[in-house]
Amino acid sequence: MRITQEPFGSAEGTDVRRWTLERGGIRVRVLTYGGIVQSVQVPDRDGVPGDVVLGFPDLTGYLKRPEPFFGALVGRYANRIAGGSFTLDGRTHRLPLSGGPNCLHGGERGFDKRVWDAREITDGVLLSRVSPDGEEGFPGRLEVSAAYTLDPDGALRIAYRARTDAPTVVALTNHSYWDLGSGPHELRVAASRWTPTDATGVPTGAFAEVAGTELDFRAGRPLSVPLDHNFVLDEGGPDAVAELYAPDTGRTVTVETTEPGLQVYADPGLGGVALETQHFPDSPNRPEFPSTVLRPGEVLVSTTRFRFGTR
């Protein structure tokens, strides 16, 4: 296991560092700006290494084009909150409308646009910051961290923790776009249901079966249509909740998570597939969804692993 760091420019007068984690032929690079996974280099079936996430070679690229959220740590709330508002304990909180008529991925300047503190830990790097009370309209002073490590099997593990001093809502994810080869990809998702949305991408509150639809990826199938959907992961299913496969290179990335949902975002214009492990969109306004409320004295703990292989 080798861990190094180096300067990577500055954002708003704050120095940015790039951390490199290397183990067993896997190399992961993480930026302190936005908690961004800049690159993940893994071998194909012939042993030839290649980068499998979309990103930019320098910090300027991320500063000039933040909207795709390439590789970013998204928060305080990943995905959409309808109308940019929610009510908690009788108090309504107003958030920036950063995604059409909704608040998207934490507001206008969410966690993806902040410089994080960093320190080396066993097998990786720990990023941390304090989000002050009222940041982007969210209540409570939030202490949050994300540990990026390479496990002995070469899997990239991202472990999130958060504490608050006042009731708030929190949902965190990584927004890497996976590009495992130059040809079409195949996707498998262990989900029998999904959450239909309105025209703005906000769930209606219903749960729909994937059986008989283009969203049935339970047995694995080619990705042939654009996607931006939240899948309800099956309870008691396999630890590996999803797998993406590129037949031309043989590369696979298998996703394991403690989260209840998986937002799959496949945009042909970008050329990658985002597998965002997270809570459901608009959960603060949907009591029928798993709760994203965090209260003083509680600790949010969430872990996702991306395991790499070949066929």
Residue 39, helix vs strand vs coil: strand
Structure-block tokens of residue 48? 């030839």
DSSP conformation letters of 53-79: B---SSHHHHHH--TT-TT-EE-SB-S
Distance CA 108, CA 106 (A): 7
Cβ-Cβ contacts under 8 Å for 156 (sequence gap 6 or more): 26, 28, 37, 40, 148, 149, 150, 305, 306, 308
- Does residue 279 carry a catalytic annotation? no
CA 31, 7, 151, 148 dihedral sign is negative
Query: Quick check: 75 and 110 in contact, CB under 8 A?
Result: yes
- Does residue 276 carry a catalytic annotation? yes
Query: Quick check: 178 and 223 in contact, CB under 8 A?
Result: no
Catalytic: which of 175, 185, 229, 279?
175
Catalytic: which of 135, 243, 259, 276?
276
Q: Which residues are tagged catalytic?
A: 175, 276
